[in-house]
Amino acid sequence: MSNKLIVSLSPHEKGELSVEKVMWGVVIALMPSFAISVYTFGFDAIKVVLLSVVFCIGIEFLIQKFMLKSEVTILDGSAAITGILLAFNVPSNIPWWQLLAGSVVAIGISKMAFGGLGKNPFNPALVGRAFMLASFPVEMTTWPVPFSNIWSPATDAITAATPLGRLAEGGVKALGAMTDPAVEAVDYIDIFIGKVGGSLGEISAAAILIGGIYMLFKKIITWHIPVFYLLSLAGFSGLLWIIDPSKYADPLFHLIAGGAMLGAWFMATDLVTSPMSVKGQIIFAVFGGLLCGAIRIYGSYPEGCSYSILIMNAFVPLIDKYSKPKRFGKEVNYG
């Protein structure tokens, strides 16, 4: 027997879960979307994702090692997630230095400046994306046509409009609704499986769903945030569609087009920046979905998903304060 026994307080048993398992689990869940993006955009997709991950991990390493002189925790997987998500939010032909700038903002300002893992109030990848969209509006909205010269990098960008872009530009007619057969109709199946233009990771709703279900299965996330976010978005857009289908797109389109799926499953569910109680998570998701619909339909940007989540991130402390879980033995009247 070793002469040193540990005498600590209970519990003496510890669970299986660890930060690494949670974070790398999310990375695995992002892989189907990555595969689709490589299939659609080819070499550029690999380049952008790899660069973004290397930038994010590298910046976290430099900050921890040389600025904070603290323990280096780059292998916990959280910087890798930020890197992948940031890459998923940009077009595949984004210049590398713009991606680097986005990574510095995402990791340096949005995460490390607040104290690192677990301390950031806003989703780092979304802050990075918001910064890039404001700073490089042209590059951030120039979408390469899917399947064009995918294995020969650095071809001239031939741009394709995203489904949401077409909606914002030309109204519901631009989607090729029944009313206007002259316009090539948007094929919902194509949007669902990802044969459309758009940011790297958002194009395939199907791949995102597979990743989301994997996270549910692994108990990394619960179903409340994605389901309520999407329901709320569908409900809001559906209500307007019922009122005037010639002016507003139908709710199914809103669900599968653009970043709503990616946002609902991977951004809004970010553990650090979402509320703690189930009640709070539902409030967070419902308002997030409403905001997303409102920005898409009434705002000047075609896509509102990322902003809706960032705005709701700001409300999380307030939501946490006022949405306590139901306590055992309070509000009971027995005997």
Partner 1 sequence: MKLKTFKLGGVHPPENKMTADIPVVPIDIPKRVSVIMSQHLGVPAVPVVDRGDKVKVGTLIGEAKGFISANIHSPVSGTVFKVDGVTDATGYRKNAVIINVEGDEWEEKIDKSDTLLKEIKLSSEEIIQRIKDSGIVGMGGAAFPTHVKYMFPEGKTADTLVINGVECEPYLTSDHRVMLERPDEILVGVSIMMKAGKVDRAKIGIESNKPDAIKILSEKAEDYPGVEVVPLKVQYPQGAEKQLIKALLNREIPSGKLPLDVGCIVNNIGTALAIYEAVQKNKPLIERVVTLTGKGLKKGGNFLVRIGIPAKNLLEKLGEEIPENTGKMISGGPMMGKAINHLDIPVTKGTSGIVLMSEEESKRNKIQNCIRCSKCVSVCPMGLEPYLLEKLAEKDMFEECEKEDIVDCIECGSCSFTCPSSRQLLDHIRYGKQNVMRIMRERRQQ
Contacting positions for partner 1 (CB under 8 A) = 1-2, 4-15, 17-19, 21-22, 73, 76, 78, 115-119, 222, 271-278, 281, 324-330, 332, 334-335
- For helices 19-41 and 205-217, the axis angle rounded to 10 degrees is 160
- Which residue number, 93 or 120, has a Cβ lying nearer to partner 1? 120
* Min dist. Cβ of residue 6 to partner 1 (A): 5
Distances (CA, A) of 291 to 115, 165, 236, 266, 280: 29, 18, 9, 17, 16
278 touches 126 (CB < 8 A): no
Torsion angles phi and psi, residue 160, rounded to 5:
-125, 145
* Min dist. Cβ of residue 42 to partner 1 (A): 35
- Which residue number, 13 or 156, has a Cβ lying nearer to partner 1? 13
- Which residue number, 5 or 178, has a Cβ lying nearer to partner 1? 5
- Which residue number, 21 or 247, has a Cβ lying nearer to partner 1? 21
State whether residue 305 is helix, strand or coil: helix
* Min dist. Cβ of residue 78 to partner 1 (A): 8
Torsion angles phi and psi, residue 144, rounded to 5:
-65, 145
Torsion angles phi and psi, residue 8, rounded to 5:
-125, 170
User: What secondary structure letter does DSSP report for 144?
Assistant: B
* Min dist. Cβ of residue 115 to partner 1 (A): 8
- Which residue number, 8 or 300, has a Cβ lying nearer to partner 1? 8
Cα 36 to Cα 32: distance, rounded to the nearest angstrom: 6
* Min dist. Cβ of residue 218 to partner 1 (A): 12
Cα 76 to Cα 83: distance, rounded to the nearest angstrom: 13
